[in-house]
Structure 1
Amino acid sequence: MSAFLEVVNARVLYGQNEVLKGVNLAVEKGEFVALLGSSGCGKTTLLRSIAGFNTPASGAIRVNGHDVTRLPPDKRGMALVFQSYALWPHMTVDQNIGYGLKLRKMPKVAIDARVTEIKRLLGLDAFGARKPANLSGGQRQRVALGRALAIQPDILLLDEPLSNLDARIRLTVRHEISALQRRLGITAVHVTHDREEAMVMADRIVILNNGEIAQVGTPEEVYNRPASDFVAAFMGAENLVELSAVLHGDRIEIAAGAFNTAAVVSARGRALSGPLNARFRGESAELSDAESAIPSLREEGALRLTGTVEQTSYPGGLWRHVIAVGSAHVIVDSPRSFEIGKRVSVRIPEEALFLYSKQ
């Protein structure tokens, strides 16, 4: 059985530049999928291709089994909420929300009823006569969302609609959109560069890199089981050290180095041997005095590094340390502060340690 929305081997060119390189994606009906990646990775191009504003050089876009690759945007049963909201400044909230219905030549009575329903749904009942200039950023965002929902689209497309909101309002609105999507059972595809936003809102996350899909999975999967060095770094495991290891059965034996003890960790199905990149998140490591660390010829179930504290700061809740580990620098959070120049031990449990063959 095919998915509700399918992108099949889509290639998109801008001149001679291949922006999407044979992307395949399947979205189930009622699912909320986030397209996540840094600037230039192809996420907005993919969204615009789904919407009909970009036509793939090859491949197909299908909705409910129907090929819509060559259909114009208004014939696809989709609605797009733009980053800029794109509200008509001379129209009231009521007129903006009802604009798409008016284009469809619906009777005025039906338009008024639908607009009233949408305003109630979005908490805009008291703002119908106002114009966009007299609304807050969060209210304008709701109006743009209301205009999209008013036409009852099969698929709701969201192009970074929260990026213009301040951080405090963004936290509230992301939950509102997610709850509304689930309540309505609508299929949604959301473009964002904000990792936390994708994690909070989406059922599944699609991570793009250089025009290709690097990984697709639930928030828990892409966070705890990143498929590549790139995904691990993008999902916050930015600390990087280089190791050497040998695979023995279901165990990876990490060789001792100038700044790490020998260690043994579970292979967990990974056939890793030779030079490795090891990544971890600063909040997942344990920091202690180097001289108080338990001496061990070989650490079981964890990697232990030694280094020197170079910087400390207090972003709130925990102390943040920049630690020199040989020529590398890692960032580790700790409940207490370690003074600059202090020799420290950094212990990373195996479940927080991401290992990849060095390319």
Structure 2
Amino acid sequence: MSEDAYLGLQGIDAGYSRTKVLESIDLSIGKGEFVALLGASGCGKTTLLRTIAGFAFPSAGRIHVGGRDVTRLPPDKRGMAMVFQSYALWPHMTAARNIGYGLRLKGWRREAIAARVAEMEALLGLEGLGGRKPSELSGGQRQRVALGRALAVDPDILLLDEPLSNLDARIRLTVRHEIRALQQRLGITTIHVTHDREEAMVMADRIVILDKGRIAQLGTPQDIYTRPASAFVAAFMGAENVIHLDASCSGHRVDIAAGPLNRAASLLLDRPAPPSGKIEARFRSERLQLRPLDEKRPDDANAVDLIGRIEAVVYPGGEWRHTVRIGEGSVLVDGPEALPPGSDVLVRVPTSGLFLFAAPACAPAGTPPSAADERSPVRERLIA
């Protein structure tokens, strides 16, 4: 744990009954920092948040807040407040009474509660809505009431358990920017659980990616997006296109052998190369070049050329999205123009958008084309 950490987790193991959900979690969060816990369903992110909050106790490890050990303290003694995914508002209470609920439990006087509730309503844009019950509010307004209830008690740490998942896409875009702006204005330490990659990217100072109860990577949004530490992280951050190749690697240099799926290439990376042998190449659908296979190849050694055939083309907006079959698999490639299905094409992947890792032991050194594939004269000539 870092010495300047405001919230520190050391060696946290946690689970339910005999099922271990979290294993060896070490995490340091600075005061005023916004950290997103990101991962697929079942990775342990909500369990980690509940363990921090005190709704679940770890089977091993320690939790410190401001130098104070809170590992075995109940939730109300930790100086934290939580906004739940369902908001958990009392349906029979007005918005104002919901916001002031925690203050009443603390024994505040009625006048002080009213003043604090009015402050929260002004802060969150809820003026004039205090007399309404949750059923009379929109989803975004209910989310603000839940946030107001959490902030009213002036917590040291704010915990958010997927609070935007129940909102429609348009409102979610607005509310997540509002929460981030509010967090920065108040300077409150915040931990936000989400499975939405873009949500984590635009809201958090740092992102913790969890995989099967362990931290797969921790870093700034830019670091994780541009320098994923593993094939899992690369895939989770959008590099879902994958192909296996043969390569000879030394230092930052990667020499890729020609094969039925690709041309030979020599690359110079801005990071250490993986071990020689079978490598797993991952890349996103954007920032690629897609051209007919028989078109003259430009001189550019800083890219990998893959050989494929277009299976389908759709228009999701902005650019055309092509499904390109490469061997027995397929990749998605975005481009400004639609190329017809059945076309033999060259997919050019620039080194800046290519993520290389040692391939799993069971992975082939390159998936050969299906025996059912037709071999066009152009393809035969260019891969020879």
Same fold (TM over 0.5): yes
Q: Which runs of 5+ in 2 are unaligned?
A: 361-384
CA distance in 2, matches of 1:141, 1:64: 29
Find out whether 1:280 has 2:261 as its counterpart.
no
CA distance in 2, matches of 1:143, 1:295: 58
- 1:180-329 aligned at under 5 Å gives the runs 180-267=182-269, 268-294=271-297, 300-329=301-330
Asked if the contact 1:2–1:65 (Cα under 8 Å) also holds between the matched residues in 2, the reply is no
How far residue 271 of structure 1 moved from its aligned partner, in angstroms, is 4.2
Q: Could you say what secondary structure the match of 1:126 adopts?
A: coil
C-alpha change, 1:249 and 1:135, in structure 2 (3 Å) is: closer
Post-superposition Cα deviations, 1:154-179, rounded to whole Å, max 9, x if no partner, equal 00000000000000000000000000
How far residue 13 of structure 1 moved from its aligned partner, in angstroms, is 2.3
Q: Give the AA of the match of 1:227.
A: A
How far residue 248 of structure 1 moved from its aligned partner, in angstroms, is 3.4
1:18 — aligned with what?
20
Q: Could you say what secondary structure the match of 1:330 adopts?
A: strand
C-alpha change, 1:107 and 1:288, in structure 2 (3 Å) is: same
2:373 — aligned with what?
none
Asked if the contact 2:83–2:159 (Cα under 8 Å) also holds between the matched residues in 1, the reply is yes
Q: Could you say what secondary structure the match of 1:21 adopts?
A: strand
2:110 — aligned with what?
108
Of all paired residues, the percent bearing the same amino acid is 60
Correspondence for 2:51 among 49, 52, 56: 49
CA distance in 2, matches of 1:209, 1:318: 32
Asked if the contact 1:318–1:334 (Cα under 8 Å) also holds between the matched residues in 2, the reply is yes
Asked if the contact 2:253–2:273 (Cα under 8 Å) also holds between the matched residues in 1, the reply is no
Asked if the contact 1:260–1:306 (Cα under 8 Å) also holds between the matched residues in 2, the reply is yes
Asked if the contact 2:251–2:273 (Cα under 8 Å) also holds between the matched residues in 1, the reply is no
- 1:142-161 aligned at under 5 Å gives the runs 142-161=144-163
C-alpha change, 1:347 and 1:186, in structure 2 (3 Å) is: same
CA distance in 1, matches of 2:326, 2:99: 57
CA distance in 1, matches of 2:37, 2:275: 30
Asked if the contact 1:259–1:306 (Cα under 8 Å) also holds between the matched residues in 2, the reply is yes
- 1:102-141 aligned at under 5 Å gives the runs 102-141=104-143
How far residue 186 of structure 1 moved from its aligned partner, in angstroms, is 0.2
Q: Give the AA of the match of 1:309.
A: I
CA distance in 2, matches of 1:124, 1:208: 35
Asked if the contact 2:245–2:256 (Cα under 8 Å) also holds between the matched residues in 1, the reply is yes
How far residue 249 of structure 1 moved from its aligned partner, in angstroms, is 4.2
Q: Could you say what secondary structure the match of 2:286 adopts?
A: helix
Identify the range of structure 1 (241-250 vs 122-131) with the bigger mean alpha-carbon deviation: 241-250
Post-superposition Cα deviations, 1:134-153, rounded to whole Å, max 9, x if no partner, equal 00000000000000000000
Structure 1 outlier segments of 4+, above 4 Å: none
How far residue 250 of structure 1 moved from its aligned partner, in angstroms, is 3.1
C-alpha change, 1:12 and 1:346, in structure 2 (3 Å) is: same
Q: Give the AA of the match of 1:285.
A: L
TM-score by length of 2: 0.91
Asked if the contact 1:252–1:272 (Cα under 8 Å) also holds between the matched residues in 2, the reply is no
Find out whether 1:75 has 2:80 as its counterpart.
no
CA distance in 2, matches of 1:92, 1:172: 24
CA distance in 2, matches of 1:42, 1:56: 13
1:5 — aligned with what?
7
1:331 — aligned with what?
332
Q: Which runs of 5+ in 1 are unaligned?
A: none
Asked if the contact 1:83–1:161 (Cα under 8 Å) also holds between the matched residues in 2, the reply is yes
CA distance in 2, matches of 1:124, 1:57: 42
1:347 — aligned with what?
348
Tell me the matched-pair count.
357
Asked if the contact 2:244–2:281 (Cα under 8 Å) also holds between the matched residues in 1, the reply is yes
How far residue 284 of structure 1 moved from its aligned partner, in angstroms, is 2.2
C-alpha change, 1:344 and 1:5, in structure 2 (3 Å) is: same
Q: Give the AA of the match of 1:291.
A: D
How far residue 127 of structure 1 moved from its aligned partner, in angstroms, is 0.3
How far residue 300 of structure 1 moved from its aligned partner, in angstroms, is 1.2
CA distance in 2, matches of 1:231, 1:249: 22
Q: Give the AA of the match of 1:80.
A: M
Q: Could you say what secondary structure the match of 2:201 adopts?
A: helix
Post-superposition Cα deviations, 1:86-142, rounded to whole Å, max 9, x if no partner, equal 001111111000000010001111111111111000000110111101000000000
